[in-house]
């Protein structure tokens, strides 16, 4: 008897190819958008419908629906003659993440060729036990790599550590998120994710997106040590936005030695920019180099910081410019900007891991 083994690699490659071809930039994925992409690139017209819709259309009860498709989650029907396919999901389940997984799983059956001329639907009574199990494992692998690619989970975990919330970031169930995180940690011991650059390049902005819920500031941070907003001191959250309305805080040009080009108090420009010891204006005595004021012996920071930083992004402490009143509080000194593009913020070249 021929052994039937799941082809995990094939499922991973096809899921990643689909992500790449779709040209999406962030998560959670809009699965209806993927349906449209599929319809443009395949001969089959795909629809995604709920149990409720199907039950009403064909006058079925809930129990009759489950018995008909032999599943409590969903299924995919395929008609070669009509060149049509339909994914049906159980909208009675009170778990949006599980529903999204079901749709992606059934999508996997379709993309992987499990549903073809001879097989209009995947059910236990139409396949051998080994064949059915192999197909299910392949479809689950496809769903995982489509909804929460392992390499992206690795990169985000590397940035956020234990604070990572896979379920909310990728829009999957808590159970699925825990399984993915556990597997990622196991695989990271032997798998070199730094060489897996394809998805990193496509989703680099997504990976390094940060958001401050206090002052509504979105930005990119390629330094994983930055944990606090430099404008209000609030701890960052992970959140992705392609283009957003956000606050724009006035910045000040600085020299190679981190001095502001003009004193923020008296507007003096006669500053010795070649001397890194020149830290205070010789006219009014105001500081010209901004730095962290953390004086705790164990956590002392003291880093030089951007001129518009009110708080240290590494430890959350106040900065010298803010303490001296050279910078007003973020909510008193802000400029509205209609749109904001991440393209204006270029990551330091040496900090990109490829």
DSSP for 161-211 reads GGG--HHHHHT--HHHHHHHHHHHHHHTTT--GGG-HHHHHHTHHHHTEEE
Residues 183 and 82 in one domain: no
Residues 63 and 194 in one domain: no
pLDDT at 296: 65
Domain-terminating residue out of 147, 172, 192: 147
Residues 199 and 219 in one domain: no
Residues 34 and 76 in one domain: yes
Residue 333 structural domain:
208-249+290-354
Q: What is the pLDDT of residues 154-187, one digit of tens each?
A: 888 887 776 678 888 899 999 999 999 999 989 8
Q: What is the pLDDT of residues 63-121, one digit of tens each?
A: 999 999 888 999 988 887 778 889 999 999 989 999 999 999 999 999 998 876 555 56
* Residue 48 in domain: yes
Sign of the CA dihedral 219, 222, 227, 231?
negative
Residues 348 and 309 in one domain: yes
pTM of the full predicted structure? 0.69
* Residue 266 in domain: no
Residues 351 and 216 in one domain: yes
Q: What is the pLDDT of residues 120-137, one digit of tens each?
A: 565 545 667 788 888 899
Number of domains the chain contains: 3
Distances (CA, A) of 90 to 35, 53, 123, 139, 200: 18, 10, 16, 18, 33
In angstroms, the CA 55 to CA 61 distance is 6
Summarize the confidence of residues 308-332 as an average pLDDT.
88
Domain-terminating residue out of 147, 173, 198: 147
Q: Is the pLDDT of residue 221 over 70?
A: yes
Q: Is the pLDDT of residue 354 over 80?
A: no
Residues 212 and 354 in one domain: yes
* Residue 348 in domain: yes
Residues 238 and 160 in one domain: no
* Residue 3 in domain: no
Mean pLDDT of the chain: 82
* Residue 258 in domain: no
Residues 143 and 71 in one domain: yes
Residues 179 and 127 in one domain: no
When mean pLDDT is compared over 30-34, 163-167, 214-218, 232-236, the highest value belongs to 30-34
Residues 345 and 222 in one domain: yes
Q: Is the pLDDT of residue 347 over 80?
A: no
Residues 104 and 140 in one domain: yes
* Residue 279 in domain: no
In angstroms, the CA 164 to CA 209 distance is 13
User: If we measure between CA atoms, which residue out of 79, 102, 78 comes closest to residue 89?
Assistant: 102
Summarize the confidence of residues 221-247 as an average pLDDT.
73
- Cis, peptide link before residue 74, omega less than 30° from 0: no
* Residue 254 in domain: no
* Residue 2 in domain: no
Q: What is the pLDDT of residues 273-294, one digit of tens each?
A: 999 899 999 999 999 999 999 8
Domain-terminating residue out of 121, 147, 173: 147
């Amino acid at each position: 008897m021929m052994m039937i083994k799941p082809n995990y690699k094939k499922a991973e490659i096809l899921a990643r190819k689909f992500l790449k071809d779709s040209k999406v930039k962030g998560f959670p994925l809009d699965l209806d958008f993927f349906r449209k992409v599929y319809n443009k690139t395949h001969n089959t017209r795909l629809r995604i419908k709920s149990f409720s819709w199907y039950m009403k259309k064909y006058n079925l009860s809930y129990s009759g629906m489950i018995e008909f498709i032999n599943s409590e989650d969903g299924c995919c029907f395929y008609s070669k003659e009509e060149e049509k396919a339909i994914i049906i999901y159980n909208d009675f389940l009170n778990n949006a993440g599980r529903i999204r997984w079901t749709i992606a799983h059934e999508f996997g059956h379709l993309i992987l060729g499990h549903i073809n001329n001879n097989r209009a639907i995947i059910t236990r009574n139409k396949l051998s036990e080994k064949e059915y199990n192999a197909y299910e494992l392949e479809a689950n692998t496809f769903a995982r790599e489509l909804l929460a690619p392992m390499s992206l989970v690795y990169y985000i975990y590397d940035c956020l550590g234990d604070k990572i919330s896979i379920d909310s970031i990728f829009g999957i169930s808590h159970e699925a998120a825990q399984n993915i995180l556990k597997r990622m940690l196991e695989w990271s011991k032997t798998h070199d994710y730094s060489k897996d650059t394809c998805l990193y390049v496509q989703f680099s902005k997504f990976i390094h997106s940060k958001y401050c819920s206090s002052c509504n500031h979105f930005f990119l941070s390629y330094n994983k040590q930055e944990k606090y907003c430099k404008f209000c001191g609030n701890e960052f959250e992970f959140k992705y936005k392609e283009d957003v309305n956000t606050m724009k805080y006035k910045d000040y040009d600085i020299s190679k030695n981190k001095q502001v080009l003009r004193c923020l108090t008296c507007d003096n420009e006669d500053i010795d920019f070649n001397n890194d010891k020149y830290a205070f204006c010789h006219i009014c005595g105001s500081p010209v180099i901004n730095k962290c004021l953390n004086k705790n012996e164990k956590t002392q920071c003291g880093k030089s910081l951007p001129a518009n930083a009110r708080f240290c992004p590494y430890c959350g402490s106040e900065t010298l410019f803010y303490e001296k009143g050279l910078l007003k509080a973020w909510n008193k000194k802000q400029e509205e900007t209609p749109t904001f593009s991440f393209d204006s913020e270029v990551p330091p070249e040496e900090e990109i891991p490829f």
